[in-house]
Structure 1
């Protein structure tokens, strides 16, 4: 039972990781220090796509499922099992990646613009 719970926690963490990957830049609009965590998550995402590295969360989930007597993840991993072909057809993978990248770029650009506007307001306030 404990292994199955571990596998489920790893699965939920993986979904949260992907959600933060997509919208973490917007989270940084409210909490600017979150941009560093978001940068790390985006870096890992790019690295895993470019190199094909297996995510540690996938390893933990697969191990927990197998140790708990369930079927493990397929060799293609978490994304292929839970997302591609389930949320969107596999043929749209590159389009989805580009869309996620665009969301990240927009969120980071917005963060920069917000910081510049705040700095400008602070400078105007101190000059008054």
Structure 2
């Protein structure tokens, strides 16, 4: 997927808009993932390692990124997901680098755990 495809496919809600700095960072980071990381991301967020026919934009329900409410330092928190709703709760990270590190950690380490939901 490209950044433009993701921008058309993802919804941002509950504290984020498509213009939010975190939303822009999400688009940047997701567009840079390699094929293995994309499969892991889809598995983490949707419960399936593959997008449906038609790509990520054909997901139903739509893949939605919302603000994860945090207490204290958002950079210390991890993203979490609700696979039944294709919903990822993303803390308001201070930079794309922090977002990338935290996202790569959860898609690598959170595959077999409901603790990150």
TM range (shorter): under 0.3
| Higher normalized contact order (CA 8 Å, seq sep 6+, divided by chain length) | 1
TM-score between the two structures when normalised by the length of structure 1: 0.24
Higher strand share: 2
Q: Which of the pair has more CA radius of gyration?
A: 1
Higher helix share: 1
